[in-house]
Amino acid sequence: MTAPPLSGRYPADPAPGGDRVGDRVPHRRSYRGKRPLDLVVVSLIIVPAALLCAIAALAHLLAHGRPVLFRQQRVGRDGRPFVLLKLRTMRSVPAGAEQPGDADTARVTAVGRVLRRTSLDELPQLVNVLRGQMSLVGPRPTLPYQVSRYTDRQQLRLLATPGLTGLAQVHGRQRLSWPERIEWDLRYVLRPSFRLDLAILFLSVWTVLAGGGATASHDNDPIARKPEGMLSGG
Protein backbone atom coordinates (compact mmCIF):
# COMPACT_ATOMS: atom_id res chain seq x y z
CA MET A 1 0.00 0.00 0.00
CA THR A 2 1.45 3.34 -1.06
CA ALA A 3 0.94 6.47 0.99
CA PRO A 4 -0.60 9.36 -0.94
CA PRO A 5 1.91 12.19 -1.24
CA LEU A 6 1.74 14.97 1.30
CA SER A 7 0.71 18.39 0.14
CA GLY A 8 0.03 21.85 1.50
CA ARG A 9 2.71 23.54 3.56
CA TYR A 10 5.18 20.66 3.05
CA PRO A 11 6.08 20.73 -0.67
CA ALA A 12 7.77 17.74 -2.23
CA ASP A 13 10.75 19.70 -3.52
CA PRO A 14 11.66 23.26 -2.55
CA ALA A 15 12.54 25.60 -5.35
CA PRO A 16 16.24 26.44 -5.80
CA GLY A 17 17.15 29.09 -3.24
CA GLY A 18 13.77 28.65 -1.58
CA ASP A 19 12.75 27.48 1.85
CA ARG A 20 14.88 25.06 3.83
CA VAL A 21 13.79 22.06 5.86
CA GLY A 22 14.08 24.12 9.02
CA ASP A 23 11.60 26.63 7.60
CA ARG A 24 9.00 23.88 7.29
CA VAL A 25 9.35 22.40 10.78
CA PRO A 26 5.90 21.86 12.30
CA HIS A 27 5.33 23.69 15.57
CA ARG A 28 4.27 20.48 17.31
CA ARG A 29 6.47 17.47 16.62
CA SER A 30 4.81 15.29 19.25
CA TYR A 31 1.90 15.40 21.69
CA ARG A 32 1.95 15.95 25.43
CA GLY A 33 1.18 12.39 26.49
CA LYS A 34 3.65 10.57 24.25
CA ARG A 35 6.44 10.06 26.78
CA PRO A 36 4.02 9.01 29.57
CA LEU A 37 2.45 6.51 27.15
CA ASP A 38 5.89 5.02 26.44
CA LEU A 39 6.70 4.69 30.14
CA VAL A 40 3.33 3.19 31.09
CA VAL A 41 3.37 0.58 28.31
CA VAL A 42 7.01 -0.36 28.90
CA SER A 43 6.38 -0.74 32.65
CA LEU A 44 3.53 -3.15 31.86
CA ILE A 45 5.49 -5.33 29.43
CA ILE A 46 9.07 -5.10 30.70
CA VAL A 47 8.96 -8.29 32.83
CA PRO A 48 7.53 -10.65 30.17
CA ALA A 49 9.68 -8.92 27.53
CA ALA A 50 12.81 -9.47 29.63
CA LEU A 51 11.90 -13.15 30.05
CA LEU A 52 11.39 -13.61 26.30
CA CYS A 53 14.63 -11.75 25.63
CA ALA A 54 16.53 -14.00 28.05
CA ILE A 55 15.12 -17.15 26.41
CA ALA A 56 15.99 -15.87 22.93
CA ALA A 57 19.49 -14.84 24.02
CA LEU A 58 20.08 -18.26 25.62
CA ALA A 59 18.93 -20.01 22.42
CA HIS A 60 21.40 -17.96 20.38
CA LEU A 61 24.19 -18.53 22.92
CA LEU A 62 23.72 -22.32 22.92
CA ALA A 63 23.45 -22.55 19.13
CA HIS A 64 25.95 -19.95 17.96
CA GLY A 65 27.93 -18.67 20.95
CA ARG A 66 28.81 -15.10 21.84
CA PRO A 67 28.04 -12.29 21.41
CA VAL A 68 24.27 -12.37 21.79
CA LEU A 69 23.70 -8.61 21.78
CA PHE A 70 24.23 -6.38 18.76
CA ARG A 71 24.99 -2.67 19.08
CA GLN A 72 24.92 -0.26 16.15
CA GLN A 73 24.95 3.50 15.76
CA ARG A 74 21.70 4.87 14.37
CA VAL A 75 20.41 8.36 13.70
CA GLY A 76 17.82 9.65 16.14
CA ARG A 77 15.64 12.72 16.50
CA ASP A 78 17.11 15.89 15.00
CA GLY A 79 19.97 13.83 13.58
CA ARG A 80 21.46 12.93 16.97
CA PRO A 81 23.31 9.59 16.94
CA PHE A 82 22.63 6.87 19.51
CA VAL A 83 23.50 3.21 20.00
CA LEU A 84 20.63 0.88 19.08
CA LEU A 85 20.37 -2.50 20.83
CA LYS A 86 19.21 -5.76 19.23
CA LEU A 87 19.57 -9.46 19.76
CA ARG A 88 22.11 -10.81 17.30
CA THR A 89 20.63 -12.71 14.36
CA MET A 90 23.75 -13.12 12.18
CA ARG A 91 27.05 -14.93 12.46
CA SER A 92 30.04 -12.71 13.12
CA VAL A 93 32.50 -12.15 10.27
CA PRO A 94 36.27 -11.92 10.84
CA ALA A 95 37.72 -8.53 9.96
CA GLY A 96 38.89 -8.43 6.35
CA ALA A 97 37.13 -11.65 5.34
CA GLU A 98 35.81 -11.67 1.77
CA GLN A 99 32.09 -12.26 1.44
CA PRO A 100 29.87 -13.14 -1.55
CA GLY A 101 27.19 -10.75 -2.77
CA ASP A 102 24.45 -12.49 -0.77
CA ALA A 103 26.60 -12.73 2.36
CA ASP A 104 24.09 -10.99 4.63
CA THR A 105 21.35 -13.50 3.84
CA ALA A 106 23.73 -16.44 4.28
CA ARG A 107 24.89 -15.15 7.66
CA VAL A 108 21.43 -15.17 9.25
CA THR A 109 21.33 -18.01 11.77
CA ALA A 110 18.50 -20.49 12.28
CA VAL A 111 17.69 -18.86 15.61
CA GLY A 112 18.02 -15.45 13.96
CA ARG A 113 15.38 -16.28 11.36
CA VAL A 114 12.89 -17.07 14.12
CA LEU A 115 13.80 -13.91 16.02
CA ARG A 116 13.33 -11.77 12.91
CA ARG A 117 10.05 -13.41 11.94
CA THR A 118 8.63 -12.79 15.43
CA SER A 119 10.42 -9.43 15.92
CA LEU A 120 11.87 -10.72 19.21
CA ASP A 121 15.28 -9.43 18.12
CA GLU A 122 13.95 -5.89 18.67
CA LEU A 123 13.06 -6.38 22.36
CA PRO A 124 16.33 -4.89 23.72
CA GLN A 125 15.23 -1.58 22.20
CA LEU A 126 12.88 -1.21 25.16
CA VAL A 127 16.07 -0.06 26.91
CA ASN A 128 16.46 2.61 24.21
CA VAL A 129 12.86 3.66 24.91
CA LEU A 130 13.53 3.94 28.65
CA ARG A 131 16.61 6.06 27.91
CA GLY A 132 14.48 8.44 25.83
CA GLN A 133 16.46 7.67 22.65
CA MET A 134 13.45 5.96 21.09
CA SER A 135 9.68 5.87 21.46
CA LEU A 136 7.31 2.94 21.09
CA VAL A 137 5.91 4.53 17.94
CA GLY A 138 7.81 6.55 15.36
CA PRO A 139 9.89 6.15 12.20
CA ARG A 140 12.34 3.26 12.48
CA PRO A 141 15.86 4.55 13.23
CA THR A 142 18.17 4.38 10.23
CA LEU A 143 21.88 4.28 9.52
CA PRO A 144 24.00 7.39 8.91
CA TYR A 145 24.75 6.48 5.27
CA GLN A 146 21.02 6.15 4.58
CA VAL A 147 20.26 9.55 6.11
CA SER A 148 23.01 11.10 3.98
CA ARG A 149 20.97 10.09 0.90
CA TYR A 150 17.73 11.75 2.02
CA THR A 151 16.32 14.66 0.08
CA ASP A 152 15.55 17.83 2.05
CA ARG A 153 11.94 16.78 2.31
CA GLN A 154 12.79 13.25 3.45
CA GLN A 155 14.89 14.70 6.25
CA LEU A 156 11.65 15.84 7.88
CA ARG A 157 11.55 12.21 9.03
CA LEU A 158 14.22 13.13 11.58
CA LEU A 159 11.88 15.54 13.37
CA ALA A 160 10.32 12.68 15.33
CA THR A 161 11.82 10.40 17.95
CA PRO A 162 12.45 7.04 16.23
CA GLY A 163 10.25 4.16 17.27
CA LEU A 164 10.04 0.42 17.75
CA THR A 165 7.23 0.43 15.23
CA GLY A 166 5.56 2.99 13.03
CA LEU A 167 3.01 3.77 10.36
CA ALA A 168 5.24 2.27 7.66
CA GLN A 169 5.51 -1.01 9.58
CA VAL A 170 1.74 -1.54 9.60
CA HIS A 171 1.37 -0.60 5.93
CA GLY A 172 3.69 -3.09 4.34
CA ARG A 173 6.74 -3.22 6.56
CA GLN A 174 9.85 -4.44 4.67
CA ARG A 175 7.83 -5.03 1.50
CA LEU A 176 7.81 -1.27 0.93
CA SER A 177 10.60 0.51 -0.89
CA TRP A 178 12.46 3.13 1.14
CA PRO A 179 10.71 6.08 -0.57
CA GLU A 180 7.34 4.44 0.21
CA ARG A 181 8.32 3.89 3.84
CA ILE A 182 9.41 7.49 4.18
CA GLU A 183 6.06 8.70 2.78
CA TRP A 184 4.24 6.83 5.54
CA ASP A 185 6.71 8.06 8.13
CA LEU A 186 6.22 11.67 7.05
CA ARG A 187 2.47 11.33 7.45
CA TYR A 188 3.08 10.23 11.03
CA VAL A 189 5.73 12.86 11.77
CA LEU A 190 3.52 15.72 10.65
CA ARG A 191 0.28 14.47 12.27
CA PRO A 192 1.13 12.65 15.53
CA SER A 193 -1.63 11.80 17.99
CA PHE A 194 -2.35 9.60 21.00
CA ARG A 195 -5.11 7.77 19.14
CA LEU A 196 -2.83 7.07 16.17
CA ASP A 197 -0.12 5.67 18.46
CA LEU A 198 -2.59 3.28 20.09
CA ALA A 199 -3.82 2.14 16.67
CA ILE A 200 -0.27 1.55 15.43
CA LEU A 201 0.65 -0.43 18.56
CA PHE A 202 -2.42 -2.64 18.17
CA LEU A 203 -1.83 -3.19 14.45
CA SER A 204 1.86 -3.92 15.06
CA VAL A 205 1.04 -6.71 17.51
CA TRP A 206 -1.49 -8.09 15.04
CA THR A 207 1.07 -7.94 12.19
CA VAL A 208 3.64 -9.90 14.20
CA LEU A 209 1.09 -12.51 15.31
CA ALA A 210 -0.02 -12.88 11.68
CA GLY A 211 3.56 -13.63 10.64
CA GLY A 212 4.34 -10.28 9.03
CA GLY A 213 7.87 -10.05 10.37
CA ALA A 214 9.71 -11.42 7.34
CA THR A 215 12.17 -9.09 5.67
CA ALA A 216 12.80 -8.40 2.02
CA SER A 217 15.93 -7.43 0.13
CA HIS A 218 16.46 -3.76 -0.73
CA ASP A 219 19.91 -4.18 -2.27
CA ASN A 220 18.96 -2.09 -5.30
CA ASP A 221 17.11 0.63 -3.39
CA PRO A 222 18.94 3.96 -3.83
CA ILE A 223 18.61 4.80 -0.11
CA ALA A 224 19.03 1.38 1.51
CA ARG A 225 21.80 0.10 -0.77
CA LYS A 226 24.90 -0.48 1.36
CA PRO A 227 28.20 1.14 0.40
CA GLU A 228 30.58 -1.22 -1.39
CA GLY A 229 32.19 -3.71 0.98
CA MET A 230 29.80 -2.98 3.84
CA LEU A 231 28.06 -5.88 5.57
CA SER A 232 25.11 -5.81 7.92
CA GLY A 233 26.30 -6.22 11.47
CA GLY A 234 23.42 -7.83 13.35
Q: For 30-34, 163-167, 221-225, which range has the lowest pLDDT when averaged over its residues?
A: 221-225
H or E element: which one contains 201?
Answer: helix 194-209
Interatomic CA distance for residues 193 and 31, integer angstroms = 6
For residue 82, the number of C-alpha atoms closer than 13 Å in the C-beta half-sphere is: 21
Residues 113-163: pLDDT tens digits?
Answer: 999 989 999 999 999 999 999 999 999 999 999 999 999 999 999 999 999
Which pairing describes strands 163-165 and 81-87: parallel, antiparallel, or unpaired? unpaired
pTM of the full structure:
0.81
CA distances for 5 relative to 13, 45, 131, 186, angstroms: 12, 35, 33, 9
What is the Cα 54 distance to its own chain's centre? 22
